Amino acid sequence: MNWFILSLLCAFFSASADALSKKSLVKSNEYLVAWVHVGFAAPFLLLLLPFIEIPRLDVNFFIVVIILLPLEIIALILYTKAIKLSPLSITLPFLALSPVFMIFTSNLILGERLDKFGIIGILLTAVGAYLLNINTARQGILEPFKAIRRERGSLYMIIVAFIYSITSNLGKMAILHSSPLFFAAVYFPVLSAILFPVLMWKNHGEVKQLFSRFTLFSLIGLVVAFAVITHLLAISIIEVPYVISVKRTSLLFGIMYGAIWFKETNIKERFIGGIIMIIGISIITLF
C-alpha cells in the first residue's frame, strides 16, 4: 500500500484513540489509560505472529529496544496527562512539532535530511502551532507564548513530540534489523508488560478497574493496534520525517473530535492554526 495512505490512516486511528482515551479519562486515571493504550492493543498485535515470517535478530535490534522502552513509557504517561489536563484541540496540534525536532534527530540517528522545501514546510508548521492560541493575541503578540506556558497539557505534549522524534527514528532502526509486523507484534506486548507494574503501583494494586470499562478499553486497543501497524509499515517504505508529517494530520481529526464530542470552545481559531500546519506538512510531503 502507498506510504501516504498508510500515514493518513495512521493519523485517523491515532486521533480516534486520543478521543476515546479522553472519554475514558472521565472515570479512569491517566496511568490506567496509558496502559490501556498498549495493554489492550497487545493481544490484537500478537495475533499477527502466526501469519508473519520470524526474522533473524542481531544485537542491534535488542540494543534499540532497550533504549526505546523507557522513552516510550515516559512519552505515554506524559501524553495521557496532556489530553487529560487540556483540550484535545490545544494539545494534539503540538505533535506537529515533532518534524521540527526531526531535522536534527533523523539526521543524527538515520542520516535522513530534508531539502529546502522541507524547511519551509516545517516553518509553516511552527507558525500554525503559534496560531493555535491566536484568540489571546489581542492582549499582545507575546501573549500566545504566555498562554502556552500556562497550559500544562501543551507543555507535556511538546515534550512528547520531542521524545517521539527520537523513538520514531529508533523504531525504524529496529525495523531495519527485523521487520515492521514482527516489531509490532513483539515490541508492544513487551512494553505493556513493563508498564504494568507502574500501573499497579499508581493504582495501589487494584486491577478491577482494568475490566470496569472493558468494551471501551478494547476499542481503544484495537484502534491503537491499527495505528501501530500502519505507522510501522509506512516508515518502512519512506523516510521517517515524511511519514510523521503526514501522520500529524491527526490534529485536524482531533480538533473535530474536540468540537463534536467534548464541546470545546475557540475551535475556529485553533482550526485555522491547524490548517496552516497542514499546509506546511503538505509542502514537506509533496516537494
User: For residue range 253-286, what is the model confidence (pLDDT) as tens digits?
Assistant: 777 777 777 666 666 666 777 788 778 877 877 7
Tell whether 56 is covered by a domain: no
Tell whether 44 is covered by a domain: yes
Contacts of 106 (CB under 8 A, 6+ apart): 112, 113, 165, 169, 239, 240, 241
What's the number of domains the chain is made of? 1
Helices and strands, counts by H and E, the chain? 14, 0
Tell whether 215 is covered by a domain: yes
**Total count of residues recorded for the chain:** 287
Half-sphere exposure of 203 (CA within 13 A, CB side): 20
CB 86 within 8 A of CB 242: no
Question: What predicted TM-score, i.e. pTM, was given to this entire model?
Answer: 0.80
CA atoms of 46 and 57, how far apart (whole Å): 18
Tell whether 144 is covered by a domain: yes
Tell whether 113 is covered by a domain: yes
Domain range holding 135?
3-49+61-286
Contacts of 179 (CB under 8 A, 6+ apart): 52, 53, 55, 236
Tell whether 252 is covered by a domain: yes
Q: What is the DSSP letter of 136?
A: G
Sign of torsion over alpha carbons 242, 243, 248, 249: positive
Tell whether 268 is covered by a domain: yes
pLDDT tens, position by position, 86-144:
776 677 677 777 878 888 898 888 887 777 887 788 778 777 766 765 555 555 555 55
* Averaged pLDDT, 25-48: 83
Please give the grid coordinates belonging to residue 178.
Answer: 527485523
Please give the grid coordinates belonging to residue 230.
Answer: 500502519
